[in-house]
Structure 1
């Protein structure tokens, strides 16, 4: 389905199939468009990634759209300009800097949120025609170590598994992955598979007890950073117990002897490995026995492995064990790196990393520079490809800081938040002579550093392809016109390229033409005898079978897994089934691994180990998910999870405010005391930015230490100190949209902004007392106080302003635990005129006798914790019973682990429920 043209509005109802823009699962989405508005989404039942399932983020996609908060006009030096002016200025400034400082003074920083077609033309422009190697991507922050691990072992960045393997496996091992929150649809697939096959086992290896442990048969709460010790120990144990597949090792691998010697030297006995990992020896040996005894084993690993100064070695330690046991190339077997972003893999396919060229070719690939150059040469233009790799992400910003990089073009990402040592990154951006930003959101932490801002299209408007974690290429289809003057990224890049003098090489009229060129390059001289590449080994990435689709074929493209060739026209579900790998001799390589602990060491000043990660209902820096108020309800404020003994030692209280300090910065948030944390360790989320809170950027606590092989930052292993944030008062302010543009309360010691429907919620706290709250309100807020209740003896106050019959703001001074459920107040902000009854109930914040539903547990159906607890106490002591009564847990399933925890906590308080007459007992 094509969207209506700009300025037009369709009156028909249509459906289109597209792909979710969040994680690397790559779920298919069926979207309904009514009267020019995307009104509903549901899972595409025919898409092989999800078969109709969607997580809560995916099911709320239609709630994140709309023009409010979107960039709609180009800006140059803070002034709105025409596209012609913006493009011409971009071209002129790039040319000026290149002429003075050379091609290598120009750089780009891309994103796994871009479509493959956007990525392709960006890589082609910067590396091919601007002649700079300095183009990298935020995939460096999540996938780089997994990429290098695969390339070292298999000779190519090639995930061998597919999602069906999760259902075929006899044993699934989750390592450094909270799959239940970060890839919920895959977690649900595993859960269903376990229900169908009671013999399937799941092992969770993670420093935290996460919701993924809900269906685990074994949990190993390892010491952070000790993964390589554990898997080296597994390799040594397999050899000792003669659980190796010696035939597979002899026929299909090399390097085993060195790998085993290193493992035996560093791992020692089970007891020694258990001590190094801080786990129970018997539980560890149970895992070793399960892994060695089963052939069909899938190990799923993600950021908990990758985001380390030795992340590549950890990946290879895992891969070593699979190769040694022949647990690869089979249904239900293989080392499976789960991608963080929707198109991290698609970006790597086209050369989005600084050490890549295009089509999975690297600078060190024999003859690759010549091959790509000849392919991109036109009648009158010849590329000027750089001779060697460029700066990886952290190195890139260090080069900007040194003054070596003079121009940076950032697309669809926010390095001011996501990169470690964020203050240093911001200082580098401030110093950079030219910062160009292509972005769809009007408010991000990066935009203040931009000299040129180019408004880009977003999901539901963009048209192209993405590749998910199982190598499956799917279409993201444009259904709506971009708002205002926003344009597609590929169009913006090509228009700049044309003005730079490269029109012949960038004369694309539609994304299908870019995809077709990308597919042709993947098959160009790929393993043929007449190639100029010596020996010309066949490149594994090959989608030449998709060449020549034309626009209609491209629009109709069904999800398909690469390689797609003449020999495999319907794609390839699983790699390395024949034991042949993409190395020069066709053998996989086992690596000798020397385990290392975190580089960011603990000290007397910073004695606690920091761990960072995602939460269930948010995505990256919340520019999309925060547009859906219901996604803000599960974890409304930035928080830190703290072990009870650490909380006691530091003097912090559950739901109180605290501050984490590190050598590079600090983090202020609300405390959640949790037994799921190991003692001496603290977890914080990555999502909050300066647009939503004060000093709760996790990246401010992380040093810019990277893996020397992959360049991936060690974002999982900070070192921090914990202390209470002493405040004189706390308050909750709800203020109507558009009621004021100023926010003087943001001078408080702590503030967090929480979007709601029709209003904004602010959680505030300060160290300075307020002697006269009514006078303070006049300074802060427009409009007179309409109703007020004040108790000076305990510092409590509630007040509200009603103007022209509409609620404009509502304030409660006191800790947030005293808040009523805010759904009632939220509804009042959306009323055209308050009734007398509602006006009288404003200070109470709820209807007379209304029960507080508590914090939201089920985001899909907005079911609160208090409501759930009451139902459990009344006898609904199963997830099924709660679902039947309250609907919680019946849609995406992400809240089920939390429901089970509440059931276990409240079971002693539950009464025996009498069966209904219709129930069978």
Structure 2
């Protein structure tokens, strides 16, 4: 391995940060790319830990057929033959592809081409359906095209940013830091409004927080539209020249939201806050409304999007610097998937299912057929699999058994499916056990291609690692299967550059400015130019050499992509969520992401640093709700919906709205038992976008009355078989060992026998037992280092895990050995507390001690001493709280 430096793009969220991977011998480091216009060198905690996720543990390295390792030629022949047999027997609509925003654009394009242009059905959908489909539908209804009209730079030039349904500080930390920096530089002239049921870390920079109920966004923004008209804050010239349908939209808004008291009551916030929000929006010219999953993931998500867009159209605040509606995507290549048509209701290059567009695509591809109508969206696709209408599904780079709603039903569907093909880089996730054919794909650092971020900026992902064993690029796997199916002439690609040129060329066919997406200028790139392509933002008049100052903006001329050239106001009425709370399920569950984890943890779960801040599945609950249900902080609780039950930790949080809970979507069967939050969520979807409702599930919460609790620390990973009687467990990788937390219903008759049976009969155990108090402790020491230790109790009063963890890394003294089973740590072991700053591993106890001993009274001072908060900044709100709570008060 030679020393080298590679500019590439982060594989996590839709911000699309540039990173620089440096190899020095066998060591790899990853840092932010200071030249990349998305992040200018900033990285979040996940991006900063990328180098820690590159090992081969858990990788799928060889093709497998029915659990047997095979070679590529056999796997390709078997896959192609099986697909052809199903098509011949049942028809092309019996095939489904479920793809992913983790794919590169070139992968996406080839999969879409195979399905829609050669197999001839549109039953290909993406997990991006779960994150931004409502924005796509809302854009197309309003603009006639799926056009994002805002840049990241607009966030720094706006005078008001309205953040709706997004914990930006945790889910898109780099954008949050750009906004925070702009706010400081402008002496707080930039105002921030956060609209979210929860008081999250994002509210740290907010001038106003509206903790609205879930599902009421349309009422709030219809009220704003009515307010703008009533107080004469409309742009009548823009409305007249560039829009249509205003009268109907305004009349609907007037009918549904014309009273501040009624709006406030419906939304669950004060009248004063509603008035202040409306006043700020009305009187501020440069307004960006930045929204994400809290808007999109709803059974009325498309209407919510259009209610926001209506307000921008009414004020002419679109197509100009520092203003516009801005959808922030969740995945690194959700936008790329939209561009190549990897959604069931689109063709490629922003073309739709209409005869003219179908002819363009089929002629360009020279394909034998073309899909004539939209296919099945994600939720509908898996329902069709369960019913037997779809006989074969190819799942690429995603884990639907965790991420889709009604997740237990996904298991049932896959178990019934005649043929399940999975191409992925991991050998074990919740979906893999249902595969008949496994195809090993390359992962980040190994594969080449492009991604498009939330501001339409195309960036290169470049390989800096040699792909292991039989792992291949996704585009190669798809192309080879296509060729083995008999479609050699359409898939004879030699490199991702070949695919990119073809895809770029399609965007310009019969376009002439009639469609928003046109990157045909890039279709002439040589291989060398493709390899060195710098981040490129597509715009109405695509050109490689344009600066931020002279780059044309979408809608700057007041023209849109509808037949009339005018934007559509869309009348929208408030629609209640499909399910409401009741006496059986009195609380509403909201789901989402946390700061340091990504999707279903197949990558971020590999690094201990990212599990040090929040290490177990949890539910946030307001203290008053907790009191009402007799729940204490850190207790295990059962969450029940009409579908399933999960068990998680309770975290009391004043930031929760009364009557609402929050639980993250990340945990899976490899890291926990009974914690897949998707099992609780019904398959309610938006009628236009097909996007599921993840933010509003009626649930009940109750204490989990465990009869015993315990934890185990082990040098090596262990299996926790069902026969062990462990009802709840969580696996927490640590530096040099693995931590398991667990609890159960019925304790065994003899804990020593139980420990020997499940955790090593061959070990010499140091033991301590106190049957009268239900305590059992044992440990095994090898070569003077702690190898494994187990602590059991009737209650949650257990020793410090942090102190014991130090004994894995240092030889045990006689004192350590004597105190080991008491849980007392050695004199030289300092308790740093649970992690607050994941980037630098700074613990709560260390921070508090530094604040008190050093007389710290600001986060800046804290960062100078401990580095905490000086990288991604996601922990800054928490650091501020600690400084406020523990700083020594100065006496005048």
Taking structure 2 as the reference length, what is the TM-score of the superposition?
A: 0.97
Q: 1:511 to 1:845 in 2, by over 3 A?
A: farther
Hey, what does 1:758 align to over in structure 2?
A: 736
Structure 2's unaligned 5+ residue stretches are: none
Does residue 876 in structure 1 map to residue 861 in structure 2? no
Query: What is the alpha-carbon distance in structure 2 between the residues aligned to residue 277 and residue 690 of structure 1?
Result: 37
Does residue 574 in structure 1 map to residue 574 in structure 2? no
* 1:569 Cα deviation after fit: 4.9
- Output one character per residue of 1:340-365: Cα deviation in whole Å (capped at 9) or x when no partner: 0000000110110000110000103x
Q: 1:600 aligns with which of 568, 579, 585?
A: 579
* 1:316 Cα deviation after fit: 0.3
Hey, what does 2:178 align to over in structure 1?
A: 189
* 1:902 Cα deviation after fit: 2.0
Q: 1:110 aligns with which of 93, 99, 102?
A: 99
Secondary structure of the 2:486 match is: helix
Query: What is the alpha-carbon distance in structure 2 between the residues aligned to residue 610 and residue 860 of structure 1?
Result: 30
Does residue 778 in structure 1 map to residue 749 in structure 2? no
Hey, what does 1:317 align to over in structure 2?
A: 307
Contact 2:106–2:450, Cα closer than 8 Å, also in 1 = yes
Q: How does 1:121-132 map to 2 (within 5 A)?
A: 121-132=110-121
Hey, what does 2:401 align to over in structure 1?
A: 416
Q: 1:568 to 1:265 in 2, by over 3 A?
A: farther
Query: What is the alpha-carbon distance in structure 2 between the residues aligned to residue 50 and residue 746 of structure 1?
Result: 48
Does residue 146 in structure 1 map to residue 131 in structure 2? no
Hey, what does 2:834 align to over in structure 1?
A: 855
Q: 2:262 aligns with which of 260, 268, 272?
A: 272
Query: What is the alpha-carbon distance in structure 2 between the residues aligned to residue 654 and residue 826 of structure 1?
Result: 24
Contact 1:123–1:352, Cα closer than 8 Å, also in 2 = yes
* 1:166 Cα deviation after fit: 0.4
Does residue 583 in structure 1 map to residue 567 in structure 2? no
Hey, what does 1:540 align to over in structure 2?
A: 516
Does residue 553 in structure 1 map to residue 529 in structure 2? yes
Contact 2:708–2:792, Cα closer than 8 Å, also in 1 = yes
Contact 1:545–1:569, Cα closer than 8 Å, also in 2 = no
* 1:793 Cα deviation after fit: 4.1
Contact 1:744–1:780, Cα closer than 8 Å, also in 2 = no
Say which is worse superposed, 881-890 or 457-466, in terms of deviation: 881-890
Contact 2:588–2:698, Cα closer than 8 Å, also in 1 = yes
Hey, what does 1:372 align to over in structure 2?
A: 361
- Output one character per residue of 1:69-124: Cα deviation in whole Å (capped at 9) or x when no partner: 11101110111111111111101111111110011111100000000000000000
Contact 1:543–1:564, Cα closer than 8 Å, also in 2 = no
Q: How does 1:889-900 map to 2 (within 5 A)?
A: 889-900=869-880
Does residue 80 in structure 1 map to residue 65 in structure 2? no
Contact 2:724–2:758, Cα closer than 8 Å, also in 1 = no
Q: 2:230 aligns with which of 240, 247, 272?
A: 240
Q: Give the total of aligned pairs.
A: 884
Does residue 355 in structure 1 map to residue 355 in structure 2? no
Hey, what does 1:467 align to over in structure 2?
A: 452
Hey, what does 1:678 align to over in structure 2?
A: 657
- Output one character per residue of 1:707-754: Cα deviation in whole Å (capped at 9) or x when no partner: 00000001111010111100111111011225x556467641111111
* 1:804 Cα deviation after fit: 4.5
| Aligned Cα root-mean-square deviation (Å) | 1.8
Q: 1:838 to 1:18 in 2, by over 3 A?
A: farther
Secondary structure of the 2:36 match is: coil
Hey, what does 2:164 align to over in structure 1?
A: 175
* 1:790 Cα deviation after fit: 3.8
Query: What is the alpha-carbon distance in structure 1 between the residues aligned to residue 295 and residue 848 of structure 2?
Result: 36
Does residue 441 in structure 1 map to residue 426 in structure 2? yes
Q: 1:287 aligns with which of 277, 292, 295?
A: 277
Does residue 482 in structure 1 map to residue 467 in structure 2? yes
Does residue 800 in structure 1 map to residue 783 in structure 2? no
Secondary structure of the 2:487 match is: helix
* 1:578 Cα deviation after fit: 1.4
Contact 1:821–1:846, Cα closer than 8 Å, also in 2 = no
Hey, what does 1:522 align to over in structure 2?
A: 507
Secondary structure of the 1:251 match is: helix
- Output one character per residue of 1:1-36: Cα deviation in whole Å (capped at 9) or x when no partner: xxxxxxxxx2x211110000000000000110233x
Does residue 399 in structure 1 map to residue 384 in structure 2? yes
Q: 2:441 aligns with which of 456, 461, 464?
A: 456
Q: 1:640 aligns with which of 591, 604, 619?
A: 619
* 1:771 Cα deviation after fit: 4.3
* 1:830 Cα deviation after fit: 5.2
* 1:258 Cα deviation after fit: 0.5
Q: 1:151 to 1:599 in 2, by over 3 A?
A: same
* 1:789 Cα deviation after fit: 3.6
* 1:888 Cα deviation after fit: 1.1
Q: How does 1:718-737 map to 2 (within 5 A)?
A: 718-737=697-716
Q: 1:288 to 1:911 in 2, by over 3 A?
A: closer
Does residue 887 in structure 1 map to residue 867 in structure 2? yes
Secondary structure of the 1:778 match is: helix
Q: 1:913 to 1:512 in 2, by over 3 A?
A: farther
Taking structure 1 as the reference length, what is the TM-score of the superposition?
A: 0.94
Q: 1:745 to 1:820 in 2, by over 3 A?
A: farther
Hey, what does 2:594 align to over in structure 1?
A: 615
Q: 1:680 to 1:335 in 2, by over 3 A?
A: same
Contact 1:753–1:762, Cα closer than 8 Å, also in 2 = yes
* 1:799 Cα deviation after fit: 2.2
- Output one character per residue of 1:864-908: Cα deviation in whole Å (capped at 9) or x when no partner: 11222223333312111221222211121110011112223334x
Hey, what does 1:202 align to over in structure 2?
A: 192
Contact 2:539–2:553, Cα closer than 8 Å, also in 1 = no
Contact 1:564–1:570, Cα closer than 8 Å, also in 2 = no
Secondary structure of the 2:86 match is: helix
